[in-house]
Amino acid sequence: MTMANPQIKFTYQDYCLMPEDKRYELMGGKFFVTPSPSVIHQRAAANLEAILRDFVRQNDLGEVLDAPLDVLLSPYDVVQPDIIFISRKRSSIVTEANIKGAPDLLVEVLSPSTRERDRTTKKKLYANHGVRELWLVNPMSQTIEVFDLESDPAGTAPRFYTRLAKEAVTSLVLDGLEVDLQEVF
């Protein structure tokens, strides 16, 4: 008789034991190590975060946070999106240690080492756990894709914005927000 080789699934408790000198994520009980972001990545993330934070504060909509910060979607799914928005009505998911549940809007700034995972595994994970909107920011092509995961959980019909088109990025979650890509890139 042959015994099946059981796969080990790590949990949030295992995740908390990892050294703090690296950026880790846990998806489906599997660990992923992410290298430090590049300067172009950090510039785009910082610029976009400042725009979102100012809009959210001015309109008293909730809170904007950034990585590294754990977002606990399940005991087996812990991610660190680049930018996190939690609405005032869902502020109870914010704890001293982490975010426990799906934020309203997440932003992932694409890097060569994370691009494929952000577009596939993480997008699906976010949709399955109730994230309403996902932005994928590509600093190299100076584009932003906005996914309405609430009405299109498969993420098949993103709105696409490019710096060259000079069209402001809008959000379904942050009504009235208009982001000029010239200010992001």
Residue 89 placed within a domain: yes
Residue 161's CB: how many other CB atoms inside 10 A? 22
Contacts of 123 (CB under 8 A, 6+ apart): 134, 136, 147, 149, 155
What's the CA gap between 181 and 166, in Å, rounded? Answer: 7
Q: How confident is the model at residue 109 (pLDDT cuts 50, 70, 90)?
A: very high
Residue 18's nearest CA partner among 34, 7, 6, 42 is 34
**Residue recorded with tokens 């785009």:** 44
Residue 4 placed within a domain: no
What's the CA gap between 66 and 45, in Å, rounded? Answer: 9
Query: What pLDDT does 19 receive?
Result: 77
- Contact indicator for 133, 123 with CB cutoff of 8 Å: no
Residue 90 placed within a domain: yes
Residue-number span of the structural domain to which 141 is assigned: 12-184
What's the CA gap between 15 and 24, in Å, rounded? Answer: 8
- Contact indicator for 181, 161 with CB cutoff of 8 Å: yes
Residue 20 placed within a domain: yes
pLDDT in tens, 20-35: 767 889 999 998 988 8
Residue 3 placed within a domain: no
Q: How confident is the model at residue 13 (pLDDT cuts 50, 70, 90)?
A: confident
The answer, yes or no, to whether residue 158 has pLDDT greater than 80, is yes
- Contact indicator for 53, 179 with CB cutoff of 8 Å: no
Tell me which of 1-5, 115-119, 126-130, 174-178 is least confident. 1-5
What's the CA gap between 173 and 168, in Å, rounded? Answer: 15
Residue 6 placed within a domain: no
Q: Which CATH number fits the domain that encloses residue 134?
A: 3.90.1570.10
Residue 27's CB: how many other CB atoms inside 10 A? 18
Instruction: Read off the tokens for 2.
Output: 């042959």
Residue 150 placed within a domain: yes
**Residue recorded with tokens 């880790």:** 24
What's the CA gap between 152 and 19, in Å, rounded? Answer: 37
Q: How confident is the model at residue 5 (pLDDT cuts 50, 70, 90)?
A: low
- Contact indicator for 185, 179 with CB cutoff of 8 Å: no
pLDDT in tens, 114-124: 999 999 999 99
Residue 130 placed within a domain: yes
Beta bridge partners of 32: 25
- Contact indicator for 52, 84 with CB cutoff of 8 Å: no
Structurally, the chain folds into a number of domains equal to 1
